[in-house]
Structure 1
Amino acid sequence: MGLSNYTVEDFVLDPEFRKWVLHPNNKSNVRWDRYLEENPDYRENILLARKIVLHLEERHKQAGGLSESDKIDIWKNIKIGVGRKNSAQQDVLVVPISSEAILSKTAEKSQKWLSFWRYAAVLLFALALGLSWVFFGERKEEETVVTSNWQVYETPLGVKSTITLSDGSVVTLNSGSQIRFKESFTGQEREIFLEGEAFFVVARDTLKPFIVHAGGLSTQVLGTSFNIKAFKDEMTEISLVAGLVEVKEQQGDHREKISPGEGILSAPDGGNWKRRKIDVEYVTAWMHKTIVFDNTPFETAMRTLEKWYGVQIKLVNFKDKELKVTGKYQDETLKNILDGLGYGVRIDYRIKGKEVTIIFE
């Protein structure tokens, strides 16, 4: 990302960082998540920089800009200098594809606590940086450097991301999912290895087939759009929206071509195939921030919520393994969903940070 040796002030003055904090999108979430994974020591600087950016934005909203007295205070504080570290953690339950979700993901890696004088310094530093922001202006974005011939994109729990590949194909990754592929698709085929769930819109290239390996199956296309769900220890689901695909076993000879509106359901290792009709709206609901349970086993529904909100759910006194739930929730908080489930099932629940306990009465 080219941001080595960045200070808190550097992050605050970086236009792409401010854009991510104030107006996050899928692309910026993936970019900054990767940076945090590669540079965990910078997390405290980023936390403080984020707090400062949000503080300055709030001041502008409330006061319409900096007053003359603010500017005088700013210059005084620049001369005095303040501490630049802040280890306050962000405890987020519902992750609406935001910068906060990326920072929450790495919260457990930091064990330092914020002292009183540093907390006071945050506000002083915010004022000091306000004027320097105005004077120094925008900085040019730096390009990401690829250090190997493999590219890996991974979305943390609670985050969904869209990636445009070098051939023009577009991949939307669900939370807790990963794709990897050779840079620039070197070779005779465009091969993708998927763990989790993704929706593909493939750019047509008759000379270079597009192949996705996931859940013990390989799906080959020339140009089409389809969804693959292949989380570990769960059934593999391939759903075709448009075009034509051929699905085959990675460790066998079984293969089938499917048409739009059709899908393949198989065991996690690619065995026990079942061809079936699919509901495209149901299959792609996750791309529109919508959770759909359709006679879904309760434990399966809870695993979905864990991935969606980045939490861990513990079931207490759960005995009915045949219990199933139905419901549709668009852009809802976890609390609202659990309240909704409570209308049909006698449960109580507690949410403490990222730990959720559901108690059956």
Structure 2
Amino acid sequence: MQSKDYNKYNVEDFLLDDQFREWVIRPDAAKHIELRNWITSNPSKSGIIEAARDIILSIEMGEAKKYEAKTEEMWEKLSQQLDTEEAKQLPVYRIETSKHQIHSFKRQPLYSAAAVFIGLLLITVAYLVYNNLYSHVTYTTAYGELKHIMLPDSSEVTINANSTLSYSADWSDEKAREVWIEGEAFFSVRKKPNARNAKFIVHSNNIGVEVLGTKFNVNNRRGHTRVVLNSGKVRLNLEEAGSEDYIMKPGELAEISDDGREVTKEMVKPENFTSWRHQQLVFDGSTIEEISQVLEDNYGYQVHIKNKELLSRKFQGTFPSDNPKILLKAIAESFGLVVTVNNNEIILESKP
């Protein structure tokens, strides 16, 4: 494919590439077939490509309107500066710039100064759009939705429902790979033995989960973090001052306290905690309270349990995650309950 090495491109490189910008505007044009084939063959670049594409489309569609108030203020200051006694003697012209409001300008030599100002203003707006909106690539899932993505280093992530994952749009071998998770995600991290900095760090609340090459699950909900290690080795970097780091073993579950100072660990069956990746919910002695939290966190339900004694009752079974009503029916039959579902509200109560 031509002489360009797109494998080395970051977001800024794509933004400056004429062929890429033309492809974003006219993706079906025949002359872009080579670029389209390269994009299809390089899924690991999808995050960077999407970020660059969104920036170009945002500018094209005029989505930088959020900065117009600031722009108008700057125009007003410019007009005041130009409105001198000398300028008042010159004819006034009006010019309209690409979907923005009409502004007043003066004839030369003041027109040249205004033209320079316009250029600087457009550069500033473009920088603000890029720096504020696209410095990170973000993926979000809705209730009941799973999403599988590939990171720029070819590590794979499956994001559970009602979760958000983000990472810097510009990864390199010169620095650690870092991602941020709110909700739950399963990571299969690819090793980078030849990189200067091979660290992979997942940030969750007040801890960092550091790995070199492994598979693990991070659940960050309700103010605390739970990590389950399927294979490999991870280090929990407790970010609270005075806390010691903790090395996890395969098959281990670690619960981190809300203040980030303590770690509670136990040996578990990791597949029970990562079954959601395969569209299954596995409960092995889970309490009704824990199950109700899953229904709220993953599906957006509000669960009300009339009899508080039910909260500690334990339940086990495997159910399809795409139909929570099957789970509710099984719970009702197991404990002799009446289950009422009204839109997003679930009520569990004992039979009369």
Using the size of structure 1 for normalisation, the TM-score is 0.56
Residues in 2 aligned to 1:178 and 1:189: alpha-carbon distance in whole angstroms: 20
Say whether residues 1:242 and 2:228 are aligned partners.
Answer: no
Q: Which has the higher contact order (CA 8 A, sep 6+)?
A: 1
- The residue type equivalent to 2:276 in the other structure is W
2:277 is matched with which residue? Answer: 287
- Deviations along 1:230-252, one digit per CA (max 9) or x if unpaired, are 11234x22122222211120113
Choose which of 143, 146, 154 in structure 2 pairs with 1:160: 146
Residues in 2 aligned to 1:314 and 1:320: alpha-carbon distance in whole angstroms: 11
Choose which of 204, 207, 231 in structure 1 pairs with 2:191: 204
2:171 is matched with which residue? Answer: 185
Residues 158 and 307 in structure 1, CA contact (< 8 A), matched pair in contact too: no
Residues 210 and 235 in structure 2, CA contact (< 8 A), matched pair in contact too: yes
Residues in 1 aligned to 2:134 and 2:175: alpha-carbon distance in whole angstroms: 19
Q: CA deviation at 1:319?
A: 4.1
Alpha-carbon RMSD across the aligned residues, in angstroms, is 2.9
Q: SS of 1:284's equivalent?
A: helix
Residues in 1 aligned to 2:189 and 2:250: alpha-carbon distance in whole angstroms: 14
- The residue type equivalent to 2:298 in the other structure is W
Say whether residues 1:171 and 2:157 are aligned partners.
Answer: yes
Residues in 2 aligned to 1:175 and 1:332: alpha-carbon distance in whole angstroms: 11
Residues 266 and 272 in structure 1, CA contact (< 8 A), matched pair in contact too: yes
Q: Which has the greater radius of gyration? A: 2
Residues 149 and 183 in structure 1, CA contact (< 8 A), matched pair in contact too: yes
Using the size of structure 2 for normalisation, the TM-score is 0.57
- Deviations along 1:24-79, one digit per CA (max 9) or x if unpaired, are xxx9xxx9xxx9xx99xxxxxxxxxxxxxxxxxxxxxxxxxxxxxxxxxxxxxxxx
Residues in 1 aligned to 2:312 and 2:265: alpha-carbon distance in whole angstroms: 24
Describe how 1:87-166 pairs up with structure 2 within 5 A: 147-166=133-152
Q: Structure 1 stretches of 5 or more lacking a match?
A: 5-26, 40-144
Describe how 1:306-325 pairs up with structure 2 within 5 A: 306-325=296-315
Q: CA deviation at 1:216?
A: 2.2
Residues in 1 aligned to 2:223 and 2:234: alpha-carbon distance in whole angstroms: 24
Q: Structure 2 stretches of 5 or more lacking a match?
A: 1-21, 25-45, 59-128
1:219 is matched with which residue? Answer: 209
Residues 232 and 268 in structure 1, CA contact (< 8 A), matched pair in contact too: no
Residues 318 and 360 in structure 1, CA contact (< 8 A), matched pair in contact too: no
Describe how 1:260-275 pairs up with structure 2 within 5 A: 260-275=250-265
Q: CA deviation at 1:332?
A: 5.8
Q: CA deviation at 1:320?
A: 4.1
Say whether residues 1:259 and 2:249 are aligned partners.
Answer: yes
Aligned residues: 223
Q: SS of 1:168's equivalent?
A: coil
1:300 is matched with which residue? Answer: 290
- The residue type equivalent to 1:311 in the other structure is Y
2:35 is matched with which residue? Answer: none
